[in-house]
Structure 1
Amino acid sequence: MKRFFLNILFSLLPLFCFAIVKYDEGRLQIDGIQLLQDKDNPNDYYYIPQYPRVAQKEDGSLEILCLKYVGTGGAATNGGVFHALIEFTLPNKLIEILQDKLKTVAGGAARIAGAVPIQQAVKDGEAGLASFQVVSSILRDNTFAKSIITSGFAPFLPGSKAAISARLSQEGATLLFETLKRPTSDVSIALSGYYEAVVKAYNAEVIAESKMVYTHFSRVFNKQEGYTKDEIRNVTDKLIRDQVIKVQSFDRGASLNVSTKDMDNILNMVTDKLIDVMFDPTKGWAKDPERVASVGQNQIPMRQERGFFGQLFAGTGNQEYVSDNQFVVKDIKDERLNRFYLNLSKSTTIKVPVYTSGNIAFLMNNLEGKERDKYFGTVNLDDPDFQMRDINVQVDGAFSEAFGEIFNFVSLNFRKAYNNGQSDVTKDVVFDRKAVEAGNVLQHVLYPRLGLQKFDWLNYEYRISWSLKGKNKSIDGQWMKANGNAIALVPPFVKKTIEVDADRGFFKEKNVMSASVRFLAIVQGEAVVQKTLVLRASDTEVTSKVALFCDPGETLGYQVTWHTKEGDKKEDIKVLDQDYLILVPRI
């Protein structure tokens, strides 16, 4: 079980390790792009993208949307939507080009290992400078941009993207999209972060060299025999000593807040010991080599010597040389070379800030046809899926005046059939006597379009029912097809307005106190008394008007009753075929 977890740990270890690059050495720049060398592998290089750019999908299309919308309420409901995804990387094609050029500059084994791991800018554990910021006078203006939302974090991790979304006013959409036609638009993205890099805090180099060359050359020629001696001697003995010590160091520990005292102590100890070794003549590098003796006088035999008795009686005298012919040559070269090299180095990691900005320069003019429609468009908010139609339903004004005299109410049954899998929309509208008398003769029926694309979405059906006073049965009309935006509720009767005139002078002359007129009409095939009008002798108005209803093609009738002090006199029912009726007492 432990081995299993260890295997998992080691397999996931590369996911948590970030590459550390060098800062002060191994840096390359190709086509304006910085390449930093890996700390451990000199063949691996990491690139720093130049600037943030609009993200791309795998098919190469850009992840940006510029949409205008047109509402039904004028400028207040018009506007636009701007949405873009931002990434901080290099396109694959550009990385392939860099790879080829890198091999030319740094050798065939060099390769691009990826992007430099950049991290969010933080300060004391809290958010520091904004790591992702939109720079735009249009998007930052409340007049042009109604709202703007950003993801807030910079897209530094591989494959990560930042998002911008803004809802624009009509003026803001027009102005912003116009800038997108230019080489530089009004939308820029600013990123800030840092990456960790290795830098040398301390470096010391000690180079020492001691060279000693000892040369000896001796040549002796000697020929002697009898009393003759010839000798030639040539002796050269030479010693050359050359010693050099070089110490170089630089220390920026104070600026990097790194302690380098231990390195100075090591350097001092090494240099002191090295000086002792180099210049000690007894056992160090400066010790002289053993000298070579040349052929000396005592090495060649001289004259012969007499014996003891001969020296005693005759003295030494001039004796013959010892016969000896010699030719001696000594050519010796002793060369000693001592070298010492020491490099003391101490490194640390620093946080290198990264500040960069990129402009969303997306030239609309370079796009045509379908390619342009992928990113730019205009939408009508009167969308078929959401569009509503308003049908006005109104009681005919010609009948509203006398509505309560003949009707209880009128109802409308509304039906909209879609035939595309959607349920029918049905509505009921009712006008009663009180509503009509109060002047509420208009109501509305709304139904949605629900995605219907053809003109037939305007078609609908309706049926009208009239409830007559004193009748248990209503007048139900047939289902009617229509496509207009208004329905007039017209009763299935003919309206006739009758003007009644009576001379009040005749009333006094004939002692008529009043007269009552009953109006009869054929309604639904039945004769009914529809209205009664009373005329009095004391009335100040001479004429009166009466509105009557009857079936189409039918005539009206009336019957007059005269009321006098002597009694009532009822006339026969008469046909009313005119719109004007004058009453003259015939008593």
Structure 2
Amino acid sequence: MKTIITHVKTTTSKRIFTWIVCSFFLIQGLEAQVILDSQNKVNISLDDGVEITLFGKAKTRNNRFSSEYYYLPTNLHLSKREDGTPEFLFLKYTSENRVDAGGAQGALMHFLMEWGLSSEQKAEAQEKLKEKIKELNKNRGSKYRGVRNPVIVGAADVTVEDGKSFRIISSVLTDEGIAKVVASGNASPIEGNKIAVAAKLDKTAAQLLAATFEENRSITDVSIELSFKYNVLFPAVDGKIVIDWKKIEKTFEKFESRYSHNDRDTKSGSDDRYSYSEVDSIYNAVVESKAVDFQIDKNTTDDETADKIVESFMNVFTEALTDRDTDSRPTPPSEEEKAQNPNARYGSRYIYNRTKAEKRFQRVREVYHLKYRTAVPKYMPLTGNLGSWYDAVKDNPKCIGNINLNDPFFEHRDINLILDIEAENMFGQEVNYVTINIRKKRNQGNDFEDQVTIDRNYLKEKGIRAALTYARGEDKNPETYHYKMQWSLRGGKLFPENPEWIVGDWEGVTLATPITPRLIELEADLDELSSNDIVRVTAAIRYYKFGQEVETNIPLTVSKEQALIPLTIFTDRDTKGYAYRLIYTHKKEGKLALPWETKINDNYIYASVPEEFQDTESELVKEAKKAGKEVINTVKDSVLDKFKDLIKGNDENN
């Protein structure tokens, strides 16, 4: 007789906010991505205090442990120039005149940081890994016995969520009344890549920040948090997960009706913010209503594996119906969060996404089988505080200083151009280089003009920041400078063909590409496809890229036993969505193409099989079969014209 685990709750998983399961089979099969083995995990500590988490490379065909290990992002630190100088600047300035007489007082702060291990740290980590594996193998029945000559290959493949992977936590820097911050848009998923932060502080902000730097405080006011996502592979088990969306909806309605969110609403007023404790209350209510039912055969699955699957499912459940709250105001971690992560400095907060929820509630009931090895996304924060960084540079005159703005030297001004981290990652993929032209009109004499070109070699040698020096001379024109940028795309095309001049800012200009990555995920129930004689389903995606309509296909093949296929496309930054249609490959009927639809601010496509497909003589099948025969002939036809107002509509019309 089988023993079934129903409504499994562990000390870890029961504290995770759960809203959805449809993303459970997320991010499998990225061709160049190394998937990590959830069970082959090793933690080590270096002599300098750096903590390292290592995962072995997953073997997709069996559960044996690999000897190849990859480390998660760690060791956030200041970058250094070739001469070893830390790339950190805290410059307090003043002028002879009082502020009310046209003078200035304040400070500038600019630093570059990166994550990853040095060559010395990697060598030490390699030796400690060997010792750790040797120690683990002393236990009888250890799964590490198959690990021979373990080696650290490098950093794990991680991804970042656009606009939500990098935040500055500071009561000073986030006060727009006294400080202005220019920062790289996202955390870098690549070890050693630099992330830039620059800030201009007024007198009050400069004094407050200097006090936390210079008066032996235990921690400064400025902390950095980077957020990463990585994938771990879990073993296949004999079991399933049953979701009753109607019960989940009713449970939430009861909670919402008796809970008051005072001053917690977002700007739109429709989506609510929740603390970690509030999320825990909602989850407990969902479990008590038996809306989520885990049924795992204990005769074929050990307790540890079952618990990890449930725990990971709960994490995904949280992410699928909520957005992470990236508000920079920190909240202390709850006791549950501290238990999960002893080094946690800040608590998690979530924004309930009503649009996502309503789409899920429409599904009524779903069953997910766990018989396939499943890649599950995990999320991790990497934090750092400027306190220790400042201590290492406080006596370095190249990093810390005071200036008087009446010095004639400061009649020169630097124009800072900072490449967005998202743009940096596109070099070599979509972009060859970007050229920036600078123009500053003078009230007498020749205008100042200059330009700089940033390509992969420039990034390698100088990083993501470019600076042009403008000599003021006798110029008394108070106007700022103007700039225009032109991108060289893969294939040699220039975009835009005729760039316009844009007013610049003396604090710096962030250079963002006209396109942005969009991760599209196609998911289907493999058993449902097979039972309907469908061997493949393809999502044809139409979208605007550099102003042109292009098409990309995402195929999901039943025989590959991969329930979800992710694919990153690059769409114009000013578009809100794309058009798509599903094309089913039927064993007998051939290709069956459905009509085009739109997706607005939604990157998830679920390919359910229409009920009409069970009757091969239905009108839908006839129309789909006809459209399927014309797929190749209609590739060049415009699809987006009839959806243009929707896809390129103003945000005000959302």
Normalised TM-score (structure 2):
0.33
| Structure in which a larger fraction of residues adopt strand | 1
- Normalized per residue, the structure richer in helix is 2
TM-score, normalising length: structure 1: 0.37
Greater relative contact order, per chain length (Cα 8 Å cut-off, separation 6+): 2
